[in-house]
Amino acid sequence: MAKLRIEIRARPAATAELQRTVRERLTRAVGHWGSLIERMTLRFEDVNGPKGGLDTRCAIHVAISGLAPLQVELVGADRGRAFAAVAPKFERAVRKLLEKRERAAGRASVSTRPGPRPTEPSPSLIGRREGRGAANEQLARDRPDKARRDAIVDTAQPGVSASDRVAGGGHSARRNARKSRTGMTVTLEDSLTRPSRKSTRKSKNRAKVSQGKERTALAKALSPTSRARRGRAARGQP
């Protein structure tokens, strides 16, 4: 945990006990991000003067490397209560800001938990894990076995027969890839073995093939004409 640079500004100066409380609380809150935090400034200000009431403002200003400065402030009856109120709000704001930056950079969310174990590169051509970019789609549509039959399977080799020539070179995506996906209710997944299931979660309408007839029947049953007919039947009218 990196040491934080915390500057406390107040007039009159904050007591030694309050300064110690401020530094310990802020270190517990954001100390694990100390390498990203350039400096923090905490200010106490009396906003109402002799009028009293909730007149002590506590403002925490933080400069984070690569991001715009962040300031969080609240007002309390005295310095201790004002800081106690603003500290959790400040911690949430810093966490949200850093997690947003991590997501934008394509990395995992900021957390003290250990990340997932690294996995081996996938031999598949396209999918949720491999990506669905233009390059992946081109690989899925590419069929080298059409240009040269022995490009994938050489039947001259011992123990190899013509039945081993599976279209697409064993990749299910190459057998099923279509350039136009209009109206398709499933998305393209690649597998070197028998696919376990059809993926619908990332499809255009997130629907299974069987839902078409179900939706048609439901729309027919809930149409204004059908509802009116049932209403007349319930009232005994023709």
The predicted structure's pLDDT at residue 196: 56
Residue 235 CB-half CA count within 13 A: 8
At 59 the pLDDT is 93
Taking CA 143 as the corner, what is the angle to CA 141 and CA 147, rounded to the nearest 5 degrees? Answer: 145
Please name which of 89, 77, 83 lies closest in space to residue 8, comparing C-alpha atoms. 83
* Separation CA 232–CA 21 (nearest Å): 75
pTM for the predicted model, two decimal places: 0.43
- Determine the straight-line distance between the first and last CA of the chain, rounded to whole angstroms: 80
Rg (CA), the chain: 32
Query: Could you list the mean pLDDT of each consecutive 10-residue stretch along the chain, which spans 238 residues?
Result: 82 91 90 86 84 78 87 90 91 87 60 50 70 77 65 68 66 73 68 60 54 77 86 84
Question: Dihedrals φ, ψ of 181, to 5°?
Answer: -110, 20
Angle ∠(4,79,99) on CA atoms, nearest 5: 40
Q: Look at the block and give the residue holding tokens 């401020």.
A: 22
Q: Please give the single-letter amino acid code of residue 43.
A: R
Beta carbons of 150 and 163 less than 8 angstroms apart: no
pLDDT score at 77: 85
Domains with residue ranges and CATH for the chain: 6-104 (3.30.160.100), 134-205 (no CATH)
Tokens at residue 58, please?
A: 């506590």
Residue 236: its pLDDT value, please? 84
- CA distances 51 to 26, 46, 101, Å, are 30, 10, 43
Instruction: For residue range 68-127, list pLDDT tens digits in order.
Output: 888 999 888 889 999 999 999 999 999 888 888 777 665 544 455 545 554 455 567 777
Element at 96 (helix H, strand E): helix 79-104
The answer to whether the peptide bond before residue 118 is cis (omega within 30 degrees of 0) is no
What is the rounded average pLDDT for all residues in the chain?
76
DSSP conformational letter for 149: G
Biggest alpha carbon–alpha carbon distance for the chain: 99
> What are the φ and ψ backbone dihedral angles of 119, each rounded to 5 degrees?
-110, 160
Q: Return d(Cα 59, Cα 65) in angstroms, integer.
A: 20
